[in-house]
Amino acid sequence: LSMLLAALDQTIVAPAMPTMAHLLGHAEYLPWIVTAYLLTATAMAPLYGKISDVHGRRPTLYAAILIFLAGSLVSAMAPNMLVLVVGRAIQGAGGGGLFALAQTVIGDLVPPRERARYAAWIAGTWA
């Protein structure tokens, strides 16, 4: 489920971008809606592995979900394009954890010969 959230959030904004530019103004920030998410998700993903080694997988996954939800709330309530970009960056900070920890939990819980099936389920969330 966490992987579905991360995958959906990376792609769901594309069809709405023209409407967002019209409603919020500052069309020059449109590329940053996607870029802010991807940059922070990519930067944060490796950190979540180390954090989860220290504090445990479950609390770290819950923290990533909360960060992701906070970013979603900021994005949903954004009065202008700059706040939307900041919200997307916060979402990315949480989304990086959702992606990284889904893979990590599979490695922890699933026997090696069954991991391919679970990896296929995760890959299917991107389809």
Q: Give tens-digit pLDDT for 26-52.
A: 888 888 998 999 999 999 999 999 999
- What pLDDT, in 10s, does the model give residues 88-121? 999 999 999 998 898 888 888 899 999 889 888 8
Q: For residues 74 and 76, what is the distance between their CA atoms, to the nearest angstrom?
A: 6
What's the rounded Cα separation, in Å, for the pair 36 and 115?
Answer: 31
Architecture per CATH, domain 2-124, reads as: Up-down Bundle (1.20)
Alpha-carbon distances, residue 25 vs 5, 77, 81 (angstroms): 27, 15, 7
pLDDT at 10 over 70: no
**How high is the pLDDT of residue 21?**
82
Residue ranges per structural domain of the chain? 2-124
Between 3 and 50, residue with greater pLDDT: 50
Copy the structure tokens of residue 54. 């220290």
The two structure tokens encoding residue 124: 């299917």
Q: What is the DSSP letter of 23?
A: H
